């Protein structure tokens, strides 16, 4: 059964385990270095800390460490883990599928490469997690790409319109797709095709992790921090220096009922 196939174990016949492990470490270093360069270029972190310092001066109350920890844990469990900011709907489901699928895919890859390329047999559940993660990534990613993208849905752009910010999702989809096809062709004994898709899998990983500076990869690290800061600001009353909500009910008029909302 393909789901129980460990493609990395078979790869050790051609590529030493140390080389695979070096590749993984190199990809992690690429993410760290590129994210650091992105922070220096865009000055996101500087803005973040300046804004937090400014908001602290207008706080209505001082939060205890326990209260801060509670707010952070609630933000991680609710806002970040379930992408609640997207509301209930297809867009949120696609993001959750892609997010958890990617985490399963990456974590299982690291464990398989570092622990089960020495000749020992990987447990079936771990190889199943690797394949299932790739499948979930493809389902969520392709659903998002072809049907839910904001610029396509709201601004009537064609689905094939590609900009620099799309590099992350396209490279991620390429990794998951080529990884699955590589595993299938290897398991089926299609040696030549297996090597072809292995090369494509490696190249897509290089693009994904090496293109962090130009893609939205670093965005994954900024959003949790921004969500935590926002909820802390709500809790201490500073509200990021924004005015409080109006007491009057929201009035949108009948025009809002004329079409299905497509703006995010």
In a domain, 117, yes or no: yes
What is the span of the domain harbouring residue 34? 19-55+63-238
pLDDT of residue 147: 81
**pLDDT tens digits, residue range 224-259?**
777 887 888 777 777 666 666 666 665 655 555 556
Question: What's the number of domains the chain is made of?
Answer: 1
In a domain, 210, yes or no: yes
In a domain, 116, yes or no: yes
**pLDDT tens digits, residue range 159-186?**
778 888 788 999 999 999 999 999 999 9
Which is more confidently placed, 226 or 210? 210
Which is more confidently placed, 153 or 25? 25
pLDDT of residue 59: 73
In a domain, 9, yes or no: no
Does the pLDDT value for residue 217 go beyond 90? no
pLDDT of residue 248: 61
In a domain, 5, yes or no: no
Sequential DSSP letters for the chain: -GGG--HHHHHTTTS-HHHHHHHHHHHHHHHHHHHHHHHHHH-HHHHHHHHHHHHHHT-SSPPPHHHHHHHHHHIIIIIITS-GGG-SSHHHHHHHHHHHHHHHHHHHHHHHHHHSSSSPPPPHHHHHHHHHHHHHHHHHHHHIIIII-HHHHHH---TT---GGGHHHHHHHHHHHHHHHHHHHHHTT-HHHHHHHHHHHHHHHHHHHHTTTTSSTTHHHHHHHHHHHHHHHHHHT-GGGPPPPPSSPP---GGGGSS-----
Percent of the chain with pLDDT over 90: 41
In a domain, 11, yes or no: no
Does the pLDDT value for residue 49 go beyond 90? no
Percent of the chain with pLDDT over 70: 85
pLDDT of residue 264: 47
In a domain, 234, yes or no: yes
Does the pLDDT value for residue 84 go beyond 60? yes
In a domain, 12, yes or no: no
Mean pLDDT of all residues belonging to the chain: 84
Q: What is the mean pLDDT of residues 69-97?
A: 84
pLDDT of residue 165: 79
């Amino acid at each position: 059964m393909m789901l129980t196939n460990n493609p990395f174990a078979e790869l050790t016949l051609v590529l030493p385990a140390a080389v695979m492990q070096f590749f993984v470490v190199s990809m992690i270093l690429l993410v760290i270095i590129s994210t650091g360069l992105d922070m220096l270029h865009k000055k996101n972190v500087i803005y973040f800390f300046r804004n937090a310092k400014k908001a602290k001066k207008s706080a209505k109350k001082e939060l205890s460490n326990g209260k801060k920890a509670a707010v952070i844990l609630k933000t991680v469990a609710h806002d970040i883990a379930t992408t609640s900011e997207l509301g209930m709907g297809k867009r949120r489901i696609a993001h959750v599928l892609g997010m958890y699928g990617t985490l399963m895919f990456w974590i299982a890859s690291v464990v398989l490469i570092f622990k089960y390329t020495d000749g020992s047999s990987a447990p079936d559940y771990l190889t199943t997690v690797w394949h299932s993660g790739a499948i979930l990534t493809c389902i969520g990613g392709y659903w998002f790409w072809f049907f839910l993208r904001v610029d396509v849905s709201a601004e009537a752009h064609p689905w094939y319109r590609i900009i620099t910010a799309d590099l992350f999702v396209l490279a991620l989809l390429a990794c998951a797709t080529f990884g699955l096809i590589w595993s299938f062709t290897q398991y089926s004994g299609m040696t030549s095709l297996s090597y072809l898709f292995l090369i494509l899998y490696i190249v897509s990983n290089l693009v994904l992790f090496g293109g962090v500076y130009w893609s939205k990869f670093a965005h994954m690290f900024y959003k949790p921090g921004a969500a935590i800061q926002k909820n802390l600001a709500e809790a201490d009353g500073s509200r990021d220096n924004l005015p409080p909500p109006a007491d009057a009910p929201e009035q949108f008029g009948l025009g809002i009922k004329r079409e299905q909302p497509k703006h995010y």
